[in-house]
Amino acid sequence: MQAEPFRIAIDEEVLADLRERISRTRWPDQIAGIGWAQGAELSTLHEVIEHWGTRFDWRVHERALNRFAHFRARIDGLAVHFIHERGRGVRPLPLVLTHGWPSSFVEMTRIIPLLTDPAAHGASAGDAFDVVVPSLPGTGFSERPDSTGMTKSRIVQLWHELMTSVLGYVRYGARGGDIGAGVTSWLGFDHPEHVVGIHVSDVLQPFVGPGAPPLSEAERTFVETEARWAEGEGAYDHVQRTKPQTLAYGLTDSPAGLAAWIVEKLRSWSDCGGELSRRFRLDDVATLLTIYWATASIGSANRLYYDRDRPPRRLGPGQRVEVPVAVALFPADIDQPPREWAERAYDLRRFNRMARGGHFAAFEEPELLAADLREFFRPLRSSAR
């Protein structure tokens, strides 16, 4: 397996068609004063779409993204896109960063320089990383799978082959949130001889069946909170894990539909206090939307929810991830488990409730996340040599 250099270059015809479609948007009505209670709010979507179609200059952001070292490699029959940036320091530690949904590799672009060149950002050169940022299968510039079965376990194997067979790393670390946290956790579980440690912002479901210690009060509260959240906010999850194909037609054909589906989550899951612009510039939003639009990958990205647990995979009695684990919980993110919940699933070495940030932590709070990654992996570096 060999990596080939890759350059982002969206055809001008695709961009022109996008602008033309935006100009013909057919808008729904909205009940006055209801805000975001029933989903994406009309005036905010108007602002996003108008900027995307008339003021946003994709070429500026395309050039900025192409300053990173992009590659594609065919692994197990699938072309995987990834960024591979070498660290500046003494023996940088290889680190694979996995994004979640509805994110992309772009989420990691703010944190990459902090990790590859820490000395240039007020930290020690001894904390440098070789950073690898793959795009999840069917997301952005990674190839869309042509069959079902893209489970977390299969993605784990793709990532392991990328790190070892394609890039030649024997030992490496991993970090992820959301879907990326599940991939990262199972990467540590499946390949402990190669993974020096993992850092996650979402926790695997531990085994809580017969023979397991009873749940603490904090754990019971967490389980109840999760159930209430799923009832009130989990519509996207239910449709994407049951009927993603039906959803894909509208989101692939309508820029406004795509924007509404994604922008609602950017606002709801980020530490923005209900104001999207506190965390995301309109250009940031338009960049993410353009990648999904130009690659027609929202359907395949959503389909990961259908594939992820078919068949389901859970920790069994007595099982946990045995490599060293750090959990960093950002206050505006979805899941906020107590420490004892994480201790059931992991060899937990570090558990932090971060001061700020949400679901898109590497983009929202790159400095906080980079500092936590440096501190966690610092004592583990010797085991990677």
Residues 6+ apart with CB under 8 A from 170: 164, 194
Residues 6+ apart with CB under 8 A from 193: none
Q: Is the distance from CB of 370 to CB of 347 less than 8 angstroms? A: no
Q: Which of the following is catalytic: 172, 292, 305, 346?
A: 305
**Residue 294 exposure: Cα atoms within 13 Å on the Cβ side:** 22
Query: For tokens 């010797």, what's the residue?
Result: 382
Q: Is the distance from CB of 95 to CB of 129 less than 8 angstroms? A: yes
Q: Is 359 a catalytic residue?
A: yes
Burial class (CB in 10 A: 0-12, 13-18, 19+), 319: middle
AA letter at 44 = T
Q: Is residue 129 helix, strand or coil?
A: strand
Q: Hey, what are 329's tokens? A: 């919980």
Q: Is 117 a catalytic residue?
A: no
Burial class (CB in 10 A: 0-12, 13-18, 19+), 226: middle
Q: Which of the following is catalytic: 130, 178, 284, 333?
A: 178
- Starting at the earlier edge strand, list the strands of the sheet with 78-85: 3-5, 70-75, 78-85, 129-134, 93-98, 172-176, 195-200, 321-329, 346-353
List, in sequence order, every residue forming a beta bridge with 346; answer none if it has no partner: 321
Query: What secondary structure does DSSP assign to 135-164, as a single string?
Result: PPTTSTTSPPPSSS---HHHHHHHHHHIII
Q: Report the 10 Å Cβ neighbour count for 220.
A: 12
Residue 240 zone, left/alpha/beta (φ > 0; ψ -120 to 50; rest)? alpha
Q: Which of the following is catalytic: 307, 333, 359, 372?
A: 359
Question: What one-character DSSP code corresponds to residue 15?
Answer: H
> What residues are labeled active site?
178, 305, 359
